[in-house]
Amino acid sequence: MFKHLFPFAICSLALICLYSCSPQTLEFYVSPEGNDDHSGSRTQPFATLQRAKTAVLESLADKAGERTIWLQPGRHQLTAPLVFTSADFPDTSSRLQIIGEEGAIISGGVVLTDWQTAETGLWMCQLPPAAGSVQSVRELFVGGKRAIRSRFPNSDYLRVGTVGADKRSHFFYESGDFPLPAQVNDTELILMHDWSSSRISIQSIDTTTNKLTPVDWIGARVLDFFTLDHWEAHARYFLENDLLFIDQDYEWYYSSEERRIYLQLPTGQDANELEIIVPVSAGLLQMNGTEEHPIRNIHIENITFRHSAWELPTGGYAGIQATHFDPRPNTGTGWSVVPAAVTASLAEACTFTNCRFENLGGSGLWLGRGCTDNAVTASKFRDISGNGIMIGEGRDRRVTDGPWWENAPDQAARGNRIENSTITDCGVQFFGAVGIWVGLAAETTITNNEVHHLPYTGISIGWMWNPSPTPARGNRVVGNHIHHIMQKLSDGGGIYMLGLQPGSELKDNLIHDVTVNVGRAESNGMFLDEGTTDVIVSGNVIYNIAKSPIRFHRATTNLVQQNALFCGEGIPPFTYNATDASLIKKVDNEVHQAGDAGIEAALQRAVESWKENH
């Protein structure tokens, strides 16, 4: 009897396994040409990520396990961020993958259509209903490239004439400095401080007295030294967003009154034949856990994130450092920060692999509060208005009437990794942005990345301007190639560090091409700023730096050993600002001075050796 039942049992078992392992029960597909009434299979894909999310959560409610959302090629449009919370995954053993097939893009933008020609010869287009409540268009992308928000002058800077009596609220310009904007209230003032910038709408321009007044103070209110003439007697500035400023192809202007975009294209180019996108979604992806139940095991692979929007506060953006800015109005909760397109809080063991973050209006990726053991690998970050990647948080959040880092230090981000990635062309709008920013975090590993062509610092790590104990410890910046940074601002470096960070090291990095910038302070290969303590700086190769390869400012005890430092003529290898040089232990460093015999060969050997090992 059992002999005859055996084939039946095997067949039944095979059917059960086939059903329980069926791709349709575990995998869901999304296509821009799909339909949300479909089953979500490869041949009948959903149309939206939100529908795929719903299907995943419904299946997990029946049975925990692994689920995969496959994004088929094309642009997957969002008008609001896709949000996952730890409540979506009650069984912590569950695992979600979101994988893009080649050419899969998550976009927070809408395509502009029905372009018309204006009498001026410019193209013009009304914002569509899909733009929703967007008040101020800050980016426009034409054929995948960021178009130029109309500015004057095109590439250089104007100079403040005389600052107002309060050195904050207004300044005077010279007659003929700039064409008077046709719509003053649409126009933005961008003023350069030493290591940050301000972006503030203009309230009025008095042509009788040549007085320019923005809608709020220029520079951060919370710091007394952010006056208009603190760093330079005649600070650099330019103006942005007016019809009269358009004088070159791919330059554009947004009229808030008309809700209309004006764009100049090359002669003979039809705007209706181009893909022209305006960002509308304030963020693209959020992953939020709780202290009791962190969100876990979400893995993002081979996806391009584009077109995230961020609108300035009504009082403007007064940058302080690394896209942290003066809150307006001041809510008493500390500094604000430019948000990221993709964010995570209280997330564990999540990964981003072979992803691209580009054409973004805020920052790129932020692994924030309490994020633990997450990884960013083999990804590319480019053309981003703010920071490229952010890890952890700053000092301001409070827990039980005290700073979180004192009362709840276990809430620090810990054990996160950034590996084998490229970060470039960040800070496109907010010039004080950095490629990689790490706050009060622990055991962060930043290794084998290339960070280059940035307006300010390459990698910034630490967020305490004195040696007070914080959760920051054991952070490692190892084997990175950092170059062509500090291209607009000053007082930074290839690596910028702050505060007490026991067990941290800056090791085996190749840093070069840091030029002199306008401003009071110099820029360096490495800048170990206030409170930097208990850090090992070893095995780095630093060359073609306009000033000292390594600078200390109010730093304390650190070890600097076995670095190859190539100095310009008359430039010392180390600069000490308000730092006791005897506290900086220096061991076996190789120092070369411009003009030394054999310096070119020594540099070639050092660079080739670094490249062989990385």
Give the pLDDT of residue 25: 46
pLDDT tens-digit series, residues 87-125: 999 998 999 999 999 999 999 999 999 999 998 999 999
Q: Is 285 a member of any domain?
A: no
**Domain harbouring 489, CATH code:** 2.160.20
Q: Which two tokens stand for residue 335?
A: 């500094």
Q: Is 282 a member of any domain?
A: no
Same domain, 590 and 463: yes
Give the pLDDT of residue 137: 95
Same domain, 104 and 115: no
pTM (predicted TM-score): 0.95
pLDDT tens-digit series, residues 160-186: 999 999 999 999 999 999 999 999 999
Closest CA to 549 of 537, 566, 561, 569: 566
Give the pLDDT of residue 13: 40
pLDDT tens-digit series, residues 16-55: 333 344 433 499 999 999 999 999 999 999 999 999 999 9
Same domain, 70 and 128: no
SS3 405: helix
Partners of 536 in the β-ladder: 505, 559
Range of the domain at 65: 2-80+93-108
Same domain, 138 and 102: no
pLDDT tens-digit series, residues 83-97: 999 999 999 899 999
What is the distance between the alpha carbons of residues 29 and 100, in angstroms, rounded to a whole number?
A: 10
Residue with tokens 């064409």: 179
For 55-66, b where at least 16 C-beta lie within 10 A, e where not — what string? bbbebbeeeeee
Same domain, 391 and 428: yes
Q: Is 550 a member of any domain?
A: yes
Q: Is 286 a member of any domain?
A: no
Same domain, 137 and 28: no
Give the pLDDT of residue 16: 36
Same domain, 167 and 262: yes
Residue 604 has pLDDT above 90, yes or no: yes
Q: Is 283 a member of any domain?
A: no
Give the pLDDT of residue 92: 86
Identify the band that residue 205 occupies on the pLDDT scale cut at 50, 70 and 90: very high
Residue 135 has pLDDT above 90, yes or no: no
Residue 457 has pLDDT above 70, yes or no: yes
The total of structural domains in the chain comes to 3
Same domain, 272 and 342: no
Same domain, 331 and 237: no
Q: Is 281 a member of any domain?
A: no
Give the pLDDT of residue 20: 40
Query: Mean pLDDT score of the chain, rounded to an integer?
Result: 94
Q: Is 454 a member of any domain?
A: yes
Give the pLDDT of residue 181: 97
Give the pLDDT of residue 515: 83
Give the pLDDT of residue 332: 78
Same domain, 100 and 153: no
